[in-house]
Structure formats: structure tokens, C-alpha cells
Amino acid sequence: MNKLENIFNKNRNYILIYLICLIFFSFYQYYFYGNFGTINREIGIFIILTIVGIFCLIYNSLNKDKLHKVAFIITILFGIITLLLSPLLIGCDESEHLNRAELTSLGVINPQYITINNNTGYKVEHFCSHLTGTSRFNTVFTTNWDDEKIDKSIILQKSAFAHNPFYAYLPQGFGIWLAKELNLNSIWVLWLGGLFNLLMYGIVSSYAIKKTPILKTPMLLIACLPFAVYQGTTVSSDAFVNSFSLLLMAYFFSMYKAKEKSLSGKNSLIFMILCISVGFLKPPLLLFIFLILLVPQNNFKNKNNYRLGFILILAVFIIGGLWNVFYAMPQSMNSFRGPRAKLLPVDAKLQLKFLLGSMNHIIIIFQNILSQTWYVIKDIFRFADWQGTQLYASTLMAIVFSIYYLIISFISPEEYKLSIKRRTSGIIIFIIIYFAFFIVQYLTWSRVGQLTVTGVQGRYFIPLLMLLPFLLNINSKDSENKIKPLINKEELNNLTVLIAITLLGCLQLLTIGVFY
């Protein structure tokens, strides 16, 4: 009892700050939306957030050397609250992700675009159509859909993310299959699908934090990023992309910090597989393979193992190119993207010809990409689809996260050495991947001849966030260097956990303010 009391007293200031932040954000939200209609519900949520937040702070004190466990607990507890509170299918492209997850629940690995009675689409069960109708964007309190039984009759749906690989939908598909097998009400399609997706996200992200030998604290902050946790509670494949990108970075860090002459070709092959696994979903992430060039040559057993990295870079480009040209791009046209491309028009070859036709066009596009930097940061805190409410966002949360993220990126005390040459090379890789997202979107989504890049969303760049702390850190040192760090590591961990749970708590208050 005394031990628990001491831990509570030790965290008293953190608890107080957490509560003050929740109270401030509650009034801040009320000032903007004035939409707190049922005071009992709001008070109930506030009490739940208080209990969960205090539990996470105390759990962190009890497991101060096991940040991966802390991250898992935060992700799951706040994720479950997010899952239960969030409006139906309001996540980015979530209605189409539902179709793909439903196909996976039926055992379909390679979806077939078929024609029945002059109607084209993918064969899914009817509850998918119900959700994309009037029930979408509603809460369980404003629709009766959640109380209905799952309609298993077969219909055709126009779009189903057929160009995405099936493995990104296995957890959601299993949850949907289980809901149907247990003959539950319709809401359990989303709740079980989201729950298993959340478990996958939490487990993989937690393992990544456990595996990485450096930058565990920044990785916890990114793993507990409100939008990443939010996507983890949906049936979106973004949960796979975000969690396995963290695992990819953890594996890179472990290779970078490996002992001399300890890495074999097997390590490089595993890294390549991780790059491909996320790159098939988000092609610019294939460029993560270049990080293998930053691993010190002395870490490999011999020169041949080191040179294998150059071969794997070429292999990733070939495999990624074949995947996109012969599978992903043709499949993506079997959706609303096909008619849209013809109507605008959208054509990668014509767009590239237009772009390269004048140096002035290249300069204008370059300037447009740079001008969208703040938009990208702010958009990471927009929790709704394009067709959803644009009010479901928080610039305040974006500012708080950005400031703390930059601080922790610069001063997190770490034990590694990064030469100017490798730091510069890493920054170049970061910039190339950043611009690649815009260029891909410009070629495949923007109208031919357009001088602005459209359709870029902040969530695309979450996998890139873990690279900056590695490149920007000015507080890193060799294990033999005894220079006093700029900040105590334990204090930084505690503060990071506080920031993470505060932002996640604010997400719930934002949901209440907009939809309840």
C-alpha cells in the first residue's frame, strides 16, 4: 500500500497537469462547437479518461524500464475508448476498406471484378452497403443500424481496395468473420474488426519499441500518436502500414547499432521484406530500402554481405515496379478511380510529359509541395474522411505535438554516433521519400496539366516520423562518451507518456464535442 501511495505521490504533478489539460481542452472545444448536449455523457467520459490516464501514468512508473509494455497499455486502453466513441466509418476511405476486409473474411485473397446483369463490382455481403448509406458518420446513438442483425445477402460494391495486398486485412477480416460466425448484431462487424486491428497494431508497435536499441521514447510518442491509434481502431490497412513501419525502423536501428562483424545477408533480406510489406501499400515507402546504405560497413561479417544491400535496393525497385505496373495500377482502375481518371482526365504518362515539358512547371510544382508542409503536419490531426466533417480536426493538438516532437527529436539522450556524412545522406533519403508521396499523388490523382498537387493527406507521412529523431538528434553519444545528457532519460520518458495520453484524451473530447 505504501509503495502504491509513493508512486501516486511521485506522479501527482503529472496527474494534475493531465487533468488541467483535459479541463482546458473541454472548455476549448465547447467554445468552438458548443455541442455538449447531454452533460451526463460528457461527465461520464471525463471520469473514464481520468481513470485510464492515471492508470497509465502509474503503470509507467511501475514499468519505467519497459516502455514497450507502457506503449501497449496506452494504445489498447485509449484505442478501445476511441473504437466505442467514434462515428461509424468516418475514417479515411474506411467504407472501401470495409469492403476489402469483408472480402478477406470470405477467404478472398485476390478480389475479382465481375459483371452481373450489367452491374460491375466486387461480391460482398449486404451489410457493407448499409454502412455506406445513411448510417455512415452516425454514432451508435443516432442510428438503428447497430442493433440490426448482419445482412449476409450478396451484393456488388464498386470499390474494394483490390490493389492492396490481402495480408493488411487479416486482423480486420478475422474480426468480421467472428462477428458473423457468432451471429452478432451489425455493430460488431466494426467493433471486432477494429478490435483485432487494434491488437495487431498494439502488438507490432510494442514489439518494435522493445526491439529498437535506441530512440525508444520517440518511438513510443509516434506509436501513441492519436491518428495512428485512431486508424488502428478502424478496418483500414493504415494500421498495418504504421505499425510495420515502426518495426522496419526498429530493425534498421538494430542493424545500425549491431556489433562489428555480426550482420549477415539474412539481416538485409529481412529488412528488404519489411520494406516491401509496407511499400506494396504505400509505394514511396519502398524507398526505405536506401536506409541500408547508412548501416556501417564494419557491422557486416564481410564485404559480400555489405554489397548485398546494393543488390537488394535494385531488387526492391524491380519487385515494386512490377507489382505496381502489372497488378496494383490495373486493379485500382476497377473502382471509382477508373471513371474519375477518364473524366478529369488523370494519366500518369501525360502528366509526366507535361511536368517535364517545362522547367517552369517543375519549379511551380516544387514550390507547391513546399507550401503544403504545414498542411501535412496539421492534417495528421484530421480524423475524418474527405466526405466527413472537416470540423473533426484539431490545430491545437497539431501544434502541441509538433513542438514536443521536435524537442524530443533534438534532445532525446541516446547512445549512438552519426557522422555528418551519414546524417546528410539520411536527410536526403527523408526528403526523397517526402517528395515521392507528392509526386505519386500528382501523377496518379491530379488532373493532367494541373500545377498543384491534390489529394495528399497527412496520414501518409506517419511512417516517416521515426526517421527524423534519428537524424536530428544532437544529444546522442557513444557509450564511452560520458558527457552529461541535456535531460534525464526517466524524466523525458515520463513527460512523453504524459503528452501521449493527454493528446489521446483530447481526441476523445474532440469526438464528444463534434458528435455528441
Residue 119: beta bridge partners? 116
384 located within any domain: yes
348 located within any domain: yes
What grid cell was written down for 74? Answer: 496506452
Do 395 and 477 reside in the same domain of the chain?
yes
Do 311 and 410 reside in the same domain of the chain?
no
pLDDT at 131: 67
Do 455 and 374 reside in the same domain of the chain?
yes
pLDDT in tens, 457-504: 999 999 999 999 999 998 766 544 444 556 788 899 999 999 999 999
Would you say the C-alpha torsion 82, 87, 88, 89 has a positive or negative sign?
A: negative
pLDDT at 388: 55
pLDDT at 34: 63
Regions of the chain short of the pLDDT cut 70: 1-2, 4, 32-38, 130-135, 386-390, 476-486
Among residues 273, 304, 330, which one ends one of the domains? 330
Residue 381's domain comprises 336-483
Do 288 and 350 reside in the same domain of the chain?
no
397 located within any domain: yes
pLDDT at 86: 92
Do 308 and 323 reside in the same domain of the chain?
yes
409 located within any domain: yes
387 located within any domain: yes
Where are the strands (E) in 236-275, listed by range?
none
Q: For cell 478490435, name the residue.
A: 195
Query: How many domains does the structure of the chain reveal?
Result: 2
**What 3-state DSSP class applies to 157?**
strand
pLDDT at 302: 94
Do 342 and 470 reside in the same domain of the chain?
yes
Among residues 280, 305, 330, which one ends one of the domains? 330
Do 344 and 426 reside in the same domain of the chain?
yes
pLDDT at 479: 43
442 located within any domain: yes
HSE (side-chain half, CA atoms, 13 Å) at 56: 33
* 173 in Cβ contact with 104 (< 8 Å): yes
What is the rounded CA–CA span in Å between residue 277 and residue 273?
Answer: 6
pLDDT in tens, 353-370: 999 999 999 999 999 999
What is the rounded CA–CA span in Å between residue 450 and residue 467?
Answer: 31
Do 474 and 355 reside in the same domain of the chain?
yes
pLDDT in tens, 453-466: 999 999 999 999 99
Q: How far is CA 513 from the centre of its chain?
A: 24
Q: For cell 473533426, name the residue.
A: 392
Give the C-alpha distances (Å, rounded to integers) separating 342 from 158, 338, 439.
Answer: 16, 7, 20
Do 310 and 350 reside in the same domain of the chain?
no
Among residues 298, 330, 362, which one ends one of the domains? 330
Give the strand order in the sheet containing 119-125.
114-116, 119-125, 154-157
pLDDT at 127: 84
**What 3-state DSSP class applies to 121?**
strand
Do 311 and 353 reside in the same domain of the chain?
no
Do 286 and 407 reside in the same domain of the chain?
no
434 located within any domain: yes
443 located within any domain: yes
Do 342 and 273 reside in the same domain of the chain?
no
Question: Rounded to two decimals, what is the model's pTM?
Answer: 0.95
